[in-house]
Each structure stands twice: as C-alpha cells, then as structure tokens.
Structure 1
C-alpha cells in the first residue's frame, strides 16, 4: 500500500493519497486546489489517481476535486446524500472500494459496477471514467476502503476505513474527515448544514461517533482532515495522527455521556465562523472555475489606487506585522503572510471583492495562491516595490498606533477583545466587549467611530488586522495593545 498524508500548515488541512502498488490504482481524499504535488508523487510511485473522494462539502477551503478530475480523468465521489452541480459517484454506507485486482485474475470491473450507480450525467462527462469498481469481497485482493456514513458535521459526511487487504484482521487506519479530529470532533453549527439546527446535527454526530467510529479497534490509526488552528473545531491538537484508542481515552467529546450532554458540550463555545465559509461550501457543492496559476499582474501605485477608487478593490498588505505598523497605505487592510493569511483574509474581506496585493517582492504569487485556496480569485495584481512607493508618497502613508502592555487605555476608549468566545471566557480584561475577528465586519456598527477604540487579542496579531479594518471603515482613533492579552494579563495579575 502507498499511503501519504499532505498537511498544509497555513490552513491546518490534510489530504491523502492511497494506492495499491500492485495495480497502480489510487484515490485522492480531500485534495486542496493546487494539485501539482499529488500529480508528481503519484507519477513517481507509479500510481494512477482514478477516484477523488471528498469526505464532505468543505467550508474552510476550496477543494481541488475539479482541478484533479480535469488533470487525471478521475471520478469525483461524495457520500450518498450529496447533491452537486457536477457529475459525481455516490458512495453508500458500508460500500467497499477495492484498489487491487480480483483474486482470480479477472480484469477490473468484471464482477459489476454497483459503486458507480446514481452518478448523474456520467455519460461522456469529464472526470467520470476509470473509477475503481466494486468487486465481490471473496474475489478481490489488495488495498480496500470501506465507506462509513457519518453525518453530524454536515449531512453528507463520510469516513473511510483503510485495509491493506480485504481480509485483514484490523484496519490500517480510518480517514475521519471533519467527523473526528485529534482532540476534538467536528463542529455541528456551520452553514454547510443549512436547514438543520446545531442541536440536530450534534445528535447525528453523537450517533456517528458512537455507532461507527468507536466500534473500530483501538489500534486503528486516525487520520483527520484538520489540525490545530482550524476553525472547524475548538480544541484540535497539533498532532496530525492518532489512534481510536487514544481518542477514546483522551478526547473530551468521546468520554461516556448521554446524547443530551454531548449536544450541550459540542454546541457551546465554538469559534466565530469566518465570513467566507458559506461561500466556499457553496462553491464546493455547485462547482467553481479551475485554478489560474498565472502570477499576479504588476501594478503601478496609480493603477492600484484607481482600482480601489473605481472597482471597489481593497489594498491587502501581506508584509510582516512590523513593516505594516511602521508604514502602510492609508485605508489598506493587513494580514501578514506568515500567519493564517487565507483564513483571516476570508474573515475581513467579503467574497468577490477585488483585491490588490501589497506584498514584499517575490511573495505576491504565494499570497495569490493562498487566497485562491479559499476561492478568492479576484486578485487584480500587486503593487510594485511597495516599500519604495511608501517612501516616495508620505501623504498616502499611515502608521498603526500601539499601546504598550503597561499603558492603560483612556477612560473614554471602547475596549474590544477580538479573540474567540472560548478564549474570552477563559479570561479577559475588565470592561472588554468580545467581538471575535471573524464577527467584527458585521458588528462594526455596534462601535462608535467617533470614540477611541482599543483592541487586543492573544498576542497582538489579530488586533492589528482588526485595527486595519476599523481604520479602513473610517474610525478616527484606533489603537491595539502590543503583545495582546498574554502580555497584559501577567502584569495585571
């Protein structure tokens, strides 16, 4: 068996390439949009990607199933209840996918194709041929995947149990998507599950975990779709793999409890939902344009300012925090490329907004790719040599006003904590109101633009992003606390 995990730190996202080395047949699970690594590694291992499986409609990134299907001719597959705007193969609960050959040496597909039934519009459509067929278990050999329907995070969620051989006593592992993480479980309140309440989805999640995943042997390896930092849960570990046994012992949501207790536990204190999540879930369901890999156009400062004036573009400054706070174009937004750039951009920039990048030379293509990974394709270009432009045009420049950790905000200031609810509940500065960064764009009207605003987060990164947003919206006196709560709380204590 060929088994590879691809972990993307900037989105805390994992995808998987699984293949049978005797036949060369392979599947790719939960691919990101830039697919070159998968294609290169599959070719090097002598594998053909024949099936692309999505564990659910992802909300936090734009999947690469359409790009991969175009490049390989592979079929796209989802759980049985999924409804999409493009042809798919629907995978039934309990269905087995055999990547090896029939044990008696017959050609693949000789014993039927029940696994491809129900895929609309497959005749002649790109990406619907060559999918691994379903063989009778007694006649098949090699790497095998078993589909588990595990609704809860979303209605169509599935997990995939991996066996190196169909008759193996124990599974090699299980790909758990967003149903089970290392240290957490999938949140049940995202817009991908529109029409169902968080409580209803949490009840489904409880049953999926208890009736499906926790019936697997303790030694079964757990391979989730996300790790620490993802907004798809609230307590994800920095570890990217685990075992069912360790999660049974250590995961707070898998401890003995009633369904009602579980529902109360997992519906409380979830992170604020970034604004782009609903946008990405819809694009992953309905379809989207293929990734454009061309570098962003180089723009003069006049062209960039004209795009902001005439096309409603935002200037998005991706330079390091220190460079931005020292000098930036007035009214520009800021998200440093060395942070969770795409997620934060999707929190403060509305989907579909034209973007002009203000990036250190040589980093603009990386910034554009990260935006594309969340479906933000409307990048008009980048400002050439922004440091030089800032030096030449002081009339267009502002700097961020930061308070030292021991510097008290004025009595008139509106003190705003932009951390997530669980962080705020664990301890906050006296008098602070909690407006998480992801919620701030929709709640600016709750603040008075004519009164001073002081912002803080955990360490001082999100607060600068928030300060830039408020300044761009016309707030007159905005400051943030350098070092954030981590710097202030020990001194206050």
Structure 2
C-alpha cells in the first residue's frame, strides 16, 4: 500500500493519497482545490487516481472533489448522511453517496465508512484496512474534522457561519456520541486528521501531523471521563468566531465552484479597488497607501483575510511580484479568483504609534478590536469594543478627526484595523503597538 499525507500550511489542512500497488489504483481523501500535487505524486509512483472521497462539506477551504471527478473521470464518494437540506448538490454523475458501514475498495485497500457527526451532521470518517498487505484488522482512521490531535471539531459553524439556529448544541451532543462510537476500536489504529495547529476548525489542535487512538484516549481532553452535559459545555465554550469566508466556503462546497484555473496577476491601473497590503507590519507602517488593509502574507494570512473578502468584488494587492502571485494562488484555495492586479505600496500615510506602557488610561477615544472572550477577561474602562472582523460592516462611534487609539491583544489585529479606519475616513489613528497585554495593569 502507498500512503502520503499532503499538508498545506496556509490552510493548516491535511489531505491524503492512498494507493494499491498491486492494481495501480489510488484514492485521494479530502482533496483541496488544486489537485495537481496528487496527480504528480500518483504518476511518479505508477498509480492512477481512480477514486476520491470527502469526509464532510468543508467550511474553511475550497474542495477539489469535483475537479478530480471531472479531470480524471474518477469515482467520488461523499456522505449521504445527515440533514438532506444541508447535503451535497450538483454532484457529477459518477458520485456515490455513502452511509455508515458502507465499504469502499481501492484495489486491495478497504475503507469502511463510519458516520461521525458533530462537526457537521453529514460528517463521516474512513477506517482503512490494508487487505493487500495481508491484514484483516484496521490500520488507521481518516477522521476529517471529527477527531484531531489533541482536540475535536467545533460544532458551532452551522450556527455561526450559516445561521442555523440551535445547531451548536445538537452538534455537540452528536460529537459526544461519535466519540463513544469509536472507543471500541483498537488503541493502535492511527488517526489521520483533516487539520493541524492553526486551523479555526477547533480551538486547541496539536501540531503533530498524526496520532493513535490510544494516545488520544490518554491525552485528548475530549476522551476524559465526563458526562454529556459537561462535555457539551466544554466543547461549546470559547470557540473562536469563524472568519466571514466560512459561509462562502460552505456554499461553494455544497453547490460547486468553477474548475480550478491558475492565473497570472499583472500591475493594476485601477487604484480604486479594495487593496490588501501583504508586506510586513513594519514595512506597512513605514509608509502605505491610505486605506490599504495590512495582512502580512504568512501562515495566518487566510484566517485574517477571510474576514474582509467580498467574493463578488475584485481586489488589488501590494507586494513584490512573486509574493503577489503566491497570494493569488493561496486565495484560490478558498475559492477566490478575483485578484485584479498589484500596485505600488505608496507613502501617503505613516502610521502613528504609541507604546502600550505609555498608555495612561486618560485617553479619550479608545477602540478595542479583540474578540469577545478577550474583552470579557478585562479591558480599558473608556474603550469601545468592536471585534476586528466586524470593523468594515459597523459604524465606528468616534469623531473622524480626533485622535483615535486602537489596540488588540498583541498588535497584530490593531495593525489590520489601521487601514480599515483610514478607509472609513479617520485621519488621526494611533496604533497601540504592543497591545493590551502590555498596558499597565494598574490603569
């Protein structure tokens, strides 16, 4: 049997290529939108991708399951479980809907379908047995967003991203039952999850790429002895707010998207478009185009830019040519294909800064852009609270020309907020550089 894990650091996402070396057949589990890496590896190994399968309708990246079906004429398998109204639509004719206890054969590799709802109602996992290798017992579980290293999938995305009222508690209870369902599996089976550390699909994912069920039983908080009510409370408390693009991903992956087609970004003459400056914070603050939103192109780029993308509107990017091309590609992985062009940084605005230790507590206008949990844990008395992801859509209740101090926890999100506030007409924005964590505790 051939096995390879693919990990995308921008998506914090794992996908898998499994092949039967006797028959030359292969399957991809949870493919991302660009399927070229799977094809290249399969060809190098003398394999043909004849199947693809997906654990659930993803909310954080654009799926490549339909691309594999259309490009390679592969048979694809998706879940038929859960609420029909939330299920897959517009699937290729070679789609097979699978249910709990169904079996998929890829040559001499067997995948048993387990319905493991909780993260989503239709969520399934695939239990692999290498029959061709002479085994009659399972080797591992492709757990998708059901079970991670150190955590389990969050149950609140349908409610927070798609506005399905009451689905969080239902999902949390289903997650409890799904965990009970797999406890009877052998401790030695490997756990091959859909995400690693940095993914917003859970709140405490581990950075180790895979684990074993026995290790998770011993160390993962979700397996520790607790009743259902306690588990539900723990799972649903303090889940981070999902970026706005999650709702778009659900729609794209449920109904389908345009086939993936990479493109080249050229210099733009239209400087009126929404602009994202992907340079470092220090470069941005040293001089930037007024109203450009600074989101550095690093491993957290997708989780930040997803708050501000309008999928119906083109954008410009500030950055060097290679970085801009990379940004456009990464945005395609979340289904966004409208990078219009790249523009020069400009030097219209140099950001004003003040160190956190110099905050006196007497500043009149203070905007706190942290999340609700951070705000509830303590804040400046005079501050107004608007989480950074809501700044574009909400009115900012300050005078446009008065000094406006903005802070987050450590300086990252307030740096993003600077450009948004400029875009909204504020002319005297002052970034509290190190954030709330370094503001003196006696204020």
Whether 2:70 is the aligned partner of 1:77: answer no
Could you say which residue in structure 2 is the equivalent of 1:477? Answer: 428
The structure 1 residue matched to 2:220, chosen from 247, 251, 269, is 251
Kindly state the Cα deviation for residue 405 of structure 1 after the two structures are TM-superposed: 2.8
Q: Is the CA contact 1:76–1:89 (under 8 Å) kept in the aligned structure 2?
A: yes
The structure 2 residue matched to 1:202, chosen from 151, 158, 172, is 172
Q: Kindly tell me: are residues 15 and 378 of structure 1, through their superposed partners in 2, closer, same or farther at Cα, counting changes over 3 Å?
A: same
Kindly state the Cα deviation for residue 429 of structure 1 after the two structures are TM-superposed: 5.8
The structure 1 residue matched to 2:104, chosen from 90, 97, 116, is 97
The structure 1 residue matched to 2:146, chosen from 173, 179, 194, is 179
Could you say which residue in structure 1 is the equivalent of 2:84? Answer: none
d(CA) in 1 for partners of 2:336, 2:303: 11
Structure 2: gaps (5+ residues) = 82-86
Deviations 1:442-486 (A, max 9, x none): 4x3264354544333343222211222222122333232223345
Q: Is the CA contact 1:449–1:476 (under 8 Å) kept in the aligned structure 2?
A: no
Q: Is the CA contact 2:193–2:210 (under 8 Å) kept in the aligned structure 1?
A: yes
d(CA) in 2 for partners of 1:99, 1:17: 11
Could you say which residue in structure 1 is the equivalent of 2:363? Answer: 411
d(CA) in 2 for partners of 1:159, 1:423: 34
d(CA) in 2 for partners of 1:413, 1:295: 43
Quick check: 177-186 or 65-74, which moved more?
65-74
Could you say which residue in structure 2 is the equivalent of 1:25? Answer: 25
Could you say which residue in structure 2 is the equivalent of 1:282? Answer: 251
Counterpart secondary structure, 1:215: coil
Q: Kindly tell me: are residues 478 and 45 of structure 1, through their superposed partners in 2, closer, same or farther at Cα, counting changes over 3 Å?
A: same
Q: Is the CA contact 1:406–1:491 (under 8 Å) kept in the aligned structure 2?
A: no
The structure 2 residue matched to 1:368, chosen from 328, 339, 350, is 328
d(CA) in 2 for partners of 1:96, 1:224: 20
d(CA) in 1 for partners of 2:5, 2:419: 37
Q: Is the CA contact 2:367–2:386 (under 8 Å) kept in the aligned structure 1?
A: no
Q: Kindly tell me: are residues 66 and 83 of structure 1, through their superposed partners in 2, closer, same or farther at Cα, counting changes over 3 Å?
A: closer
d(CA) in 2 for partners of 1:67, 1:25: 18
Quick check: 157-166 or 364-373, which moved more?
157-166
The structure 2 residue matched to 1:220, chosen from 180, 189, 195, is 189
Q: Is the CA contact 2:57–2:88 (under 8 Å) kept in the aligned structure 1?
A: no
Kindly state the Cα deviation for residue 15 of structure 1 after the two structures are TM-superposed: 0.7
Q: Kindly tell me: are residues 404 and 175 of structure 1, through their superposed partners in 2, closer, same or farther at Cα, counting changes over 3 Å?
A: same
Kindly state the Cα deviation for residue 69 of structure 1 after the two structures are TM-superposed: 2.3
Quick check: 41-50 or 467-476, which moved more?
467-476
Kindly state the Cα deviation for residue 407 of structure 1 after the two structures are TM-superposed: 1.8
Kindly state the Cα deviation for residue 412 of structure 1 after the two structures are TM-superposed: 0.5
- The RMSD of aligned alpha carbons is 2.3
Counterpart secondary structure, 2:337: coil
The structure 2 residue matched to 1:156, chosen from 92, 117, 122, is 122
Q: Kindly tell me: are residues 204 and 326 of structure 1, through their superposed partners in 2, closer, same or farther at Cα, counting changes over 3 Å?
A: same
Q: Is the CA contact 2:278–2:294 (under 8 Å) kept in the aligned structure 1?
A: yes
Q: Is the CA contact 1:449–1:474 (under 8 Å) kept in the aligned structure 2?
A: no
Counterpart secondary structure, 1:328: coil
Structure-2-length-normalised TM-score: 0.90
Q: Is the CA contact 1:155–1:193 (under 8 Å) kept in the aligned structure 2?
A: no
Deviations 1:77-117 (A, max 9, x none): 211133312232111211111222xxxxxxxxxxxxxxxxx
d(CA) in 2 for partners of 1:55, 1:400: 45
Could you say which residue in structure 2 is the equivalent of 1:325? Answer: 285
Could you say which residue in structure 2 is the equivalent of 1:6? Answer: 6
Kindly state the Cα deviation for residue 237 of structure 1 after the two structures are TM-superposed: 1.2
d(CA) in 1 for partners of 2:374, 2:77: 38
d(CA) in 2 for partners of 1:222, 1:381: 42
Whether 2:261 is the aligned partner of 1:292: answer yes
Q: Is the CA contact 2:365–2:383 (under 8 Å) kept in the aligned structure 1?
A: no
Structure-1-length-normalised TM-score: 0.81
Q: Kindly tell me: are residues 480 and 459 of structure 1, through their superposed partners in 2, closer, same or farther at Cα, counting changes over 3 Å?
A: same
| Superposition pairs of residues 255-404 of structure 1, within 5 angstroms | 255-299=224-268, 303-305=269-271, 308=272, 313-383=273-343, 386-387=344-345, 390=346, 397-404=348-355
Counterpart secondary structure, 2:183: helix
Q: Kindly tell me: are residues 438 and 239 of structure 1, through their superposed partners in 2, closer, same or farther at Cα, counting changes over 3 Å?
A: farther
Kindly state the Cα deviation for residue 250 of structure 1 after the two structures are TM-superposed: 1.4
Quick check: 426-435 or 84-93, which moved more?
426-435
| Number of aligned residue pairs | 430
Q: Kindly tell me: are residues 193 and 411 of structure 1, through their superposed partners in 2, closer, same or farther at Cα, counting changes over 3 Å?
A: closer
d(CA) in 2 for partners of 1:485, 1:5: 39
Q: Is the CA contact 2:277–2:294 (under 8 Å) kept in the aligned structure 1?
A: yes
Kindly state the Cα deviation for residue 492 of structure 1 after the two structures are TM-superposed: 6.7
Deviations 1:184-235 (A, max 9, x none): 1111111377545211111111111111x22221111111111111111111
